[in-house]
Each structure stands twice: as structure tokens, then as C-alpha cells.
Amino acid sequence: MTTRNRLSVLPLALVSILLVACASGTPNAPSASPGGMVDALGDWQLSAGTVDGAPLAMVAAAPITMTVQATQVGGRSACNQYGGEITIVAGELRFGAMVMTEMGCDEPVMRSESAFHAAMARIRGATRDGDRLTLTGPGVELVWDRLAPVPDTGLVGTTWVLDSVITGETVASVLGQATLLLRPDGTMAGFTGCRDFVGHWTDPR
């Protein structure tokens, strides 16, 4: 029996995370930006947050995640996938405008997503203590816990589920449940969300 996996079609730059402040010198852990470097390579899930003294709205069944590499950040914001850029402005950490898919979810999930993005726009610094990353800004604190690495899944013999499609700078969610299975014998099969298809595949390497 093949394993079902969700295949998220996002830029390869959104695979791991590194938050860098512009000061020179050896990084310290935990350290805060500005004035140092926060090495947060890996995948994170938001575990708690406050905005202006009130808890950030969160829905257990719709977690918020973050994955970044170099100056790129991405993840799932309760409902939709997002991606954007990290910059340093006057020694402060900034998360730029995010591109997002356009999927709709239940109202509590959408409120959580809106609150998260509003909070991220106010972030100005970061600290790291082991497997805990804290992003802070005026009236805002977002606490993230490191996620365990996901084991590699073989490309062949795995049923992949299409999650989103990128065209240029646009990321679009996908209706239905399109799937793709590459078999070891060079044949492939799948479902477009409307009808089944079969064919052959080759590895050009």
C-alpha cells in the first residue's frame, strides 16, 4: 500500500530558516536582534502568542507553521500557505508583505490567520533558546517550537496530493484532490480532481 503525502508546491527557498540581524560578530544563543544573529534553521510551529496583552487567536485543528531559508520565509497560516521576505531595517527584523494562496476556511480559522499576519507585520526582533524561538515587536510576542524533521519520502512509490500551484509570483490553491503516483516500473497514474489518468515517466538524470 502506498503512503499518502501532501505535496506543497512552494518555492524551494521556503524549505528551512535562518533569521539574520545585520551586526557583525560571533552569534550567541540565545541572542536578540538587533545586535546579533539568531540561527533558527528548521521548521517551527506557533505555540503561543500575545497581541496588545491579549492571547493571539489560535485554532488547534489549524496550526500555524513557519519555514525560512536565508531571507525567505513561508509556511501555513492556519488556513492558507504564505511566503515572503525577511529584511533588516535599521538593525531591526522585518517581515515583508506576504503572498498567499486564496483558500477559504471556517471563520475562527480565518480570524486566526488574520491575527497572525497582523502580528507578523509588527515583529522587530527575535531570540532563540534551544528549540524555542520568540519573535517580538511593539505589543507583540510570538512563541514558536521547533518541529521534528520530517523523514524523507521516496519520490517513486508514494501517492502525492497536489496542494497548490505557483505561476510566476502567484500562488493558487487547488480545488478537488489531484494526485500523482510514479511507479518503479516507469508507469504513472493519478487523479485530476475530475478524472483518472495513466502514463509513463522517465528520469532524465
Candidate ranges 9-13, 14-18, 49-53, 163-167; pick with highest mean pLDDT: 49-53
Other C-beta atoms closer than 10 Å to the C-beta of 159 total: 17
Q: How far apart are CA 168 and CA 160, in angstroms?
A: 23
Q: Is residue 77 part of a domain?
A: yes
Indicate the average pLDDT of the chain. Answer: 77
Let me know the angle formed at the C-alpha of 145 by 30 and 91, rounded to the nearest 5 degrees.
45
Domain span including residue 31: 12-146
In a domain, 125, yes or no: yes
Q: Is the pLDDT of residue 26 over 50?
A: no
Measured distance CA(15)–CA(41) in Å, rounded: 9
Percent of residues, the chain, with pLDDT higher than 70: 74
Rounded distance between C-alpha atoms, residue 91 and residue 52, angstroms: 23
159 is a domain residue: no
Q: Where are the alpha helices (DSSP H) in the chain?
A: 107-120
pLDDT recorded at residue 196: 87
For 92, the grid coordinates are 531591526
Domain membership of residue 183 (yes or no) is no
Whole-structure pTM value:
0.62
| CA–CA gap between residue 75 and residue 77 (Å, rounded) | 7
pLDDT of residue 142: 96
91 falls within a domain: yes
User: What CATH number does the domain containing 54 carry?
Assistant: 2.40.128.270
Average pLDDT on 168-176 reads 60
What pLDDT does residue 7 have?
A: 41
In this structure, the number of other CB atoms found within 10 A of the CB of residue 171 comes to 21
Domain count, the chain: 1
Question: Would residue 161 count as lying in a domain?
Answer: no
